[in-house]
Amino acid sequence: MKRVSLTQYLVEEQRKNNSIPAELRLLIEVVARACKTISHAVGKGALGDVLGTANTENIQGEVQKKLDIISNEILLEANEWGGHLAAMASEEMESIHPIPNRYPKGEYMLLFDPLDGSSNIDVNVSIGTIFSVLKAPEGMGEPSEADFMQPGSEQVAAGYAVYGPQTMLVLTTGNGVNCFTLDREMGSWVLTQRNMQIPETTKEFAINMSNSRHWYPPVTRYVDEMLAGSTGPRGKDFNMRWVASMVADVHRILSRGGVFMYPADTRDTAMPGKLRLMYEANPMAMIVEQAGGAATDGKQRILDIVPHKLHQRVPVFLGSKAEVDVVTGYHTQG
């Protein structure tokens, strides 16, 4: 395949679909460059004194890893001065981050989980960066959390970088999903997969089975039927994967199909699952739907959910459409 850089792809997309105005192209290229820097920091491991915890907690009450903070700083610093953003929001920061007055402001708002799966950092398992792009409301003054409370269907772009055996960037601006691989020698992102499509059916599911005694009946029924295999109601054997890094699990599903589940469970009725809507579920739902898959909270499309809090959590069922339809059906049938 002729090498197509991220820049060339974005320029050609703008010509073809008029879907990537110059400011959005700048935003995407700045985020992609920041992900290169994060990949470099992650790759150092113990040699770079970046492993271990920072002895601080984030808004989620989770102990922050050094690389969580480093990655967050990299994204903030990369995006502050460009003039393409009005504000940012991050899993690692309690409140939104307005662009400092010394810089011009733009029409976009960037949300991100700077380093998802950070429990895997110290054991050298794939982790990633997830990002979501919203338009700032018309006539917005000083940005507030309320300006971010838009359903995922309002996203103009979404993507993730996965720091695994290869460093890859998966991106959608609403016209399909494309994958870029980092050429470490040249330091450039190269288009390596166009128009990724999730197979409609699958024999592979992803869930943390250690929580099974806490699941609600629809999830128990769905997983038990798959575990029953070819002699059970599904009439086929299933395989299971759980990396405990959403980016890695979603990338596998995008590459070969599967269904990913992080359901709510009986442990805490006030906490509907573990994953966050604004900067995990929404961007991944846009990517999955753009690749022909489906993403629900068990009852409705993730992208239709009207947010009420920046860090709100949501149950997540996403991947091969036929399977997401089955498990969602078990929830809505009552």
Which residue ranges make up the site for ligand P6P (CB under 6 A)? 116-117, 119, 208, 244-246, 262, 274-275
How many Å apart are CA 147 and CA 238, to the nearest integer?
43
Q: Which is nearer to ligand P6P, 143 or 293 (CB)?
A: 293
State the minimum distance, in angstroms, from the CB of residue 25 to ligand P6P: 28
Residue 167: which of 65, 31, 69, 40 has the closest Cα? 40
Helices (H), ranges, the chain: 6-17, 22-44, 66-80, 145-148, 217-227, 246-256, 282-290, 321-332
Q: What is the DSSP string of 12-36?
A: HHHHHHS-S-HHHHHHHHHHHHHHH
How many Å apart are CA 180 and CA 288, to the nearest integer?
16
State the minimum distance, in angstroms, from the CB of residue 193 to ligand P6P: 22
Q: Which is nearer to ligand P6P, 117 or 307 (CB)?
A: 117
Contact, 163 vs 43, CB < 8 A? yes
Tokens of 138: 């018309």
State the minimum distance, in angstroms, from the CB of residue 69 to ligand P6P: 15
Q: Give the total residue count for the chain.
A: 334
Q: Which is nearer to ligand P6P, 284 or 305 (CB)?
A: 284
Q: Which is nearer to ligand P6P, 125 or 322 (CB)?
A: 125
State the minimum distance, in angstroms, from the CB of residue 113 to ligand P6P: 8
Q: Which is nearer to ligand P6P, 190 or 281 (CB)?
A: 281
Q: Which is nearer to ligand P6P, 180 or 262 (CB)?
A: 262
State the minimum distance, in angstroms, from the CB of residue 273 to ligand P6P: 10
State the minimum distance, in angstroms, from the CB of residue 121 to ligand P6P: 10
The closest residue (CB) to ligand P6P is 246
How many Å apart are CA 152 and CA 175, to the nearest integer?
16
